[in-house]
Amino acid sequence: MDINLTQPEEERLASMMAKICQEIKQNGGYMPFSRYMNMALYDPKLGYYSAGLEKFGLAGDFITAPEISPFFGQTIVNTVLPILEKFKQQGLPTRILEFGAGTGSLAKSILIELHRRGFDLDEYQMIELSPDLTKRQQSLLQDVCHQNKIHTQCNWLSSFPDHIEGVILANEVLDAIPCERICLHNDTWHHLGIAVTPHASPFLLKDSVGPALSTTELNDLSPVLRNTQAFSDGYTTEFHPQVQAWLRALTDRLECGILLIIDYGFPEQEYYHPQRQDGTLMAHYQHQALSNVLQLPGICDITCHIECSRLLRLLEKSIHGELFYSSQASYLLDAGITELVLEKSDPQDVEHFIPISNALQKLLSEAEMGELFKVIAFGKNLTQLKLRLTQLPGLSGRNRVY
């Protein structure tokens, strides 16, 4: 693949590489992969999400479901509106908290659809690590609320609220949380980190086998990985302690409501399949996949698939909780996306309907996002609202948890 960086990108890449290399040298020639991924994505000045690069849409590096179709957000409204109405009936504040809101497209679709149905939230909260994206979200939602006479207060938070009641959304968030990379070496799992290729100019980064996993880390691994005999020497994959910590912190703070996670991933038997030799890490630059995630730190997006089984086991331990797990296609269909499309568009109007149909194909097709993307819904203390998770549109179909 030919990569033609702009001059500003070249300069930022050189600065980022120099910063990474300096830290590697200061730490004895080795950097944990999670630290590299965190710097590459979230460094305050040079990270991918911290600078003013175009990230979403045709001009960016990837397109998310809310950009593909507003019907994605409108369908989520079908699921969450019964919860919000129960809060309102009890005289409680109605809130949605969204993590990693991207361009703000999902918030826009949800706010407009709620307003269309005669329901204005009290507050739409967002936690966004990118200053650039925060500015874009603020500008978009200010215009949306003004033009549609929506009276919802939109607020941006710098950290988790201490207590959460309402709806939490995380669409394509977990895949961008830094992961740990590990490899099997002499029948033992080791951290796989980053080193600098000596005598190379410009700087080149390379994989470096680091320390063996501790007993605590080994105990936290998927049971699939503990059978080292099933994997060949050099087998490389990821595990996700930071995702697990994020989920624990969030569910501990959720007092009543629902958490809806939508992201691409696999259950552990697929995630850690012996033939998946190099894990799931991916890098993207201008809609093209890069084979080397160390190639363009700060310039390209870096993601990994989520390992669903570990997250489900964590959520199952929560008291007063209910759990649902399925594919994106199954969820959207059960939540009524096709009914919304037919309500708001005319299939006989071919010129306008074809783009809508093409967008639905991407969201629902098994060959596109339909099966690769999974939906995890976690409800906590919903009995206080006289609701069950299975009563909510989208969450009454086949539950893959069981």
pLDDT digits (tens, 9 = 90+) for 170-198: 999 999 999 999 999 999 999 999 999 87
How would residue 57 be classed by pLDDT, with cut points 50, 70 and 90? very low
Residue 376 CB neighbours (<10 A): 25
Do the Cβ atoms of 364 and 333 come closer than 8 Å?
A: yes
What does the DSSP assignment read for 207-248? EEEEEEPPHHHHHHS-HHHH-GGGS-TT-EEEE-HHHHHHHH
Question: Residue 320 has what pLDDT?
Answer: 86
d(CA 315, CA 389): 14
* Amino acid found at 192: L
Q: Give me the residue label for tokens 């001009």.
A: 59
The helix-helix angle for 328-335 and 70-89 (nearest 10°) equals 60
Region 192-208: mean pLDDT is 84
Question: Residue 53 has what pLDDT?
Answer: 53
DSSP state of 288: E
Helix, coil or strand: residue 265: strand
pLDDT greater than 80 at residue 117: yes
pLDDT greater than 50 at residue 153: yes
Fold of the domain spanning 1-402: Rossmann fold (3.40.50)
Do the Cβ atoms of 156 and 134 come closer than 8 Å?
A: yes
Do the Cβ atoms of 176 and 6 come closer than 8 Å?
A: no
d(CA 47, CA 205): 17
**Which tokens in the block code for residue 308?**
């669903």
The helix-helix angle for 328-335 and 350-364 (nearest 10°) equals 130
Q: b/e map of 122-156 (b: 16 or more CB within 10 Å)?
A: bebbbbbbbeebbebbeebbeebbeeeebebebee
d(CA 261, CA 380): 14
Q: Give me the residue label for tokens 């033939």.
A: 275
CA 254 to chain centre: 19
Region 313-318: mean pLDDT is 92
Question: Residue 288 has what pLDDT?
Answer: 85
Q: Give me the residue label for tokens 């961008």.
A: 176
pLDDT digits (tens, 9 = 90+) for 255-276: 999 999 999 999 999 999 999 9
Of the two residues 8 and 109, the one the predictor is more confident about is 109
Question: Residue 71 has what pLDDT?
Answer: 97
pLDDT greater than 90 at residue 50: no
Which helix H or strand E contains 338, and what residues bound it?
Answer: helix 337-344
What mean pLDDT is reported for the chain?
93
Question: Residue 201 has what pLDDT?
Answer: 60
Do the Cβ atoms of 102 and 176 come closer than 8 Å?
A: no
How would residue 131 be classed by pLDDT, with cut points 50, 70 and 90? confident
Q: What residue ranges do the domains of the chain occupy?
A: 1-402
Question: Residue 318 has what pLDDT?
Answer: 85
Region 33-50: mean pLDDT is 94
Weakest-pLDDT range from 46-55, 117-126, 264-273: 46-55
Residues 6+ apart with CB under 8 A from 235: 183, 184, 274, 277
Do the Cβ atoms of 282 and 303 come closer than 8 Å?
A: yes
d(CA 138, CA 148): 15
Distance linking the first and last C-alpha atoms of the chain: 43
pLDDT digits (tens, 9 = 90+) for 333-373: 999 999 999 999 988 899 999 999 999 999 999 999 999 99
Question: Residue 61 has what pLDDT?
Answer: 52
Exposed, middle or buried: residue 235 (CB in 10 Å: 0-12, 13-18, 19+)? buried
Q: Give me the residue label for tokens 């149905």.
A: 117
Residues 6+ apart with CB under 8 A from 30: 24, 193, 194, 195, 208, 210
Residue 8 CB neighbours (<10 A): 11
Exposed, middle or buried: residue 298 (CB in 10 Å: 0-12, 13-18, 19+)? buried
How would residue 118 be classed by pLDDT, with cut points 50, 70 and 90? very high
pLDDT greater than 90 at residue 2: no
pLDDT greater than 60 at residue 98: yes
